[in-house]
């Protein structure tokens, strides 16, 4: 067995992951609407031989439009544009199972995978909150359990559609006029609770067979879904102990389903705030936190955890939180915030400062050595297979990570010095799925 390899994903969040990044002099907020900005970021990550870049997404405006950099490109089109400015790096887009049709979304990801030469990944989200539902003909969103039931069926359908053309279905014999072997192009004839889809897809099988499947739900439903479908998991932990417990639990669920534990990569988020000295890094973190606008942050927190805190006085201790069963938002994020607030007896203002850098993800401020130590510790002690790197400022924070942290990780033998694969699956060391129809035909 070859040495275990670290995996790094660059989370491209506008002009920086810190919620106040756009106010900082090292960010250019007008770049949010410039495709060249995102292509530049992806090229930096590719120079650092990252496995992939990732674009989050939502189907509503997040936060308070007055104080939030709320505008965004649709991610599959933006990644398509990025694919034309890069050669190797993987391209992961969030898309929701709540408000799309499987046939449409299967086509978009298949097309991205074809266009990029096998670099597409899908971060599967179910989308909490009524505000999104109200853009899609519903007053109230599906509840948490139903969202995951729908997601599960959505994956049944999309994976079948991606398999519907076997790899060798194309014949292209000019002489006989046979373009495809129709015995290798399959109707999927799905009839379920949420969807009825006949198929086949109107595209040949994509270079990766299916896009890499990524997932970030950490609730009970989320972990079950991840163990069934995910090949990489984005997750948020503040403490090493929570991370190792999550890691072990998820791998156990994966093997319980008969899958190989290595076939799901666990990538906690990390917000690396880098400085030449630790003091310099802490000063940058404080400078960014000082730019947070409380009214905006409270609204975002309310959206994030599904508990309304807009009328709570900033300098008073946080109230008792409701039971998680009453929360129809992202349950795992709710629990993380609740535990942090209660453990440290935080006021609302203190909590906002703790969350502003990474919305629940761990902020690590320090020198490149300190960041590399953190990465190595988590990677070698059962807390992570890699990291979802969330630079607080973009592009500068990503440049700093690539120029100063990546060389240390390489020198320690933890991270690749060049790409050995061509596709996103190859970067993550994951197999290319065989079409279910091809497998059946072998019996």
Q: Which of residues 23-62 bind a copy of itself (CB under 8 A)?
A: 23-25, 29-30, 33, 35, 58-62
Annotation-wise, does 57 bind a ligand?
Answer: yes
SS3 321: coil
**CA 433/CA 210 separation, integer angstroms:** 7
Residue 142, classified by CB atoms within 10 Å of its CB into exposed (0-12), middle (13-18) or buried (19+), is buried
Annotation-wise, does 103 bind a ligand?
Answer: no
Annotation-wise, does 247 bind a ligand?
Answer: no
What is each CA distance from 203 to 65, 90, 177, 211, 212, in whole angstroms?
39, 21, 19, 14, 18
Site map for a copy of itself, 368-407, x if CB under 8 A? ----------------------------------------
Question: By C-beta, is 106 or 327 nearer to a copy of itself?
Answer: 106
Query: Among 87, 145, 198, 411, which residue sits at the site for a copy of itself (rule: CB under 8 A)?
Result: 198
Window contacting a copy of itself (CB under 8 A); options: 94-102, 140-148, 227-235, 435-443: 94-102
Is residue 218 a contact point for a copy of itself (CB under 8 A)? no
Site map for a copy of itself, 130-149, x if CB under 8 A? -x--xxxxxx----------
Annotation-wise, does 196 bind a ligand?
Answer: no
Q: Where are the alpha helices (DSSP H) in 84-186?
A: 102-116, 130-133, 144-163
Are β-strands 52-55 and 7-11 bridged in parallel, bridged antiparallel, or unpaired? parallel
CA angle 434, 440, 443 (to 5 degrees): 120
Give the pair of three-digit tokens for residue 177: 């006029």
Is residue 287 a contact point for a copy of itself (CB under 8 A)? no
Are β-strands 170-173 and 178-180 bridged in parallel, bridged antiparallel, or unpaired? antiparallel
Q: Which secondary-structure segment (H or E) carries 232?
A: strand 232-235
**CA 261/CA 192 separation, integer angstroms:** 30
Query: Among 202, 380, 417, 441, which residue sits at the site for a copy of itself (rule: CB under 8 A)?
Result: 202
**CA 94/CA 76 separation, integer angstroms:** 8
Query: Among 6, 8, 12, 22, which residue sits at the site for a copy of itself (rule: CB under 8 A)?
Result: 22
Question: By C-beta, is 21 or 267 nearer to a copy of itself?
Answer: 21
Binding site as annotated, residues: 57, 94, 144, 148, 218-219
Binding site as annotated, residues for FMN: 57, 94, 144, 148, 218-219
């Amino acid at each position: 067995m070859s040495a275990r390899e670290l995996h790094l994903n660059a989370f491209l969040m506008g002009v920086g992951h810190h919620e106040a990044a756009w106010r900082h002099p090292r960010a250019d907020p007008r770049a949010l609407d410039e495709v060249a900005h995102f292509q530049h970021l992806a090229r930096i990550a590719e120079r650092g031989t990252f496995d992939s870049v990732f674009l989050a997404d939502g189907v509503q405006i997040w936060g308070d439009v007055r104080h939030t950099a709320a505008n965004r490109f649709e991610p599959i089109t933006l990644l398509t544009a990025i694919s034309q400015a890069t050669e190797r790096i993987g391209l992961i887009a969030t898309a929701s199972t709540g408000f799309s049709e499987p046939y449409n979304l299967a086509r978009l990801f298949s097309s991205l995978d074809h266009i990029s030469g096998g670099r597409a990944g899908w971060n599967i989200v179910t989308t909490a909150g009524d505000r999104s539902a109200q853009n899609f003909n519903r007053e109230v969103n599906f509840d948490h359990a139903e969202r995951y039931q729908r997601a599960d069926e959505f994956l049944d359908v999309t994976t079948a559609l991606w398999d519907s053309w076997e790899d060798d279905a194309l014949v292209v014999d000019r002489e006989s006029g046979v373009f495809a072997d129709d015995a290798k192009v399959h109707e999927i004839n799905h009839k379920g609770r949420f969807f009825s889809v006949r198929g086949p897809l109107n595209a040949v099988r994509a270079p990766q067979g299916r896009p890499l499947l990524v997932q970030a739900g950490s609730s009970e439903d989320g972990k079950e879904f991840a163990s069934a479908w995910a090949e990489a998991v984005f997750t948020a932990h503040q403490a090493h102990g929570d991370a190792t417990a999550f890691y072990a639990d998820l791998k156990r669920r994966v093997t319980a389903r008969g899958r190989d534990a290595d076939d799901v990569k666990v990538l906690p988020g990390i917000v690396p705030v880098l400085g030449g000295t630790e003091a310099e890094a802490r000063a940058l973190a404080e400078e960014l936190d000082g730019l947070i606008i409380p009214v905006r942050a409270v609204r975002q927190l309310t959206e994030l955890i599904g508990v309304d805190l807009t009328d709570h006085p900033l300098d008073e201790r946080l109230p008792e939180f409701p039971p998680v069963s009453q929360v129809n938002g992202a349950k795992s994020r709710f629990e993380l915030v609740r535990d942090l607030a209660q453990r440290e007896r935080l006021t609302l203002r203190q909590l906002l400062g703790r969350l502003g850098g990474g919305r629940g993800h761990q902020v690590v401020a320090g020198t490149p050595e300190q960041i590399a130590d953190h990465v190595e510790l988590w990677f070698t002690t059962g807390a992570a297979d890699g990291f979802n790197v969330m630079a607080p400022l973009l592009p500068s924070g990503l440049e700093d990570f690539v120029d100063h942290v990546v060389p240390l990780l390489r020198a320690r033998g933890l991270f690749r010095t060049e790409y050995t694969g061509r596709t996103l699956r190859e970067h993550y060391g994951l197999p290319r799925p065989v079409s279910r129809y091809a497998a059946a035909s072998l019996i």
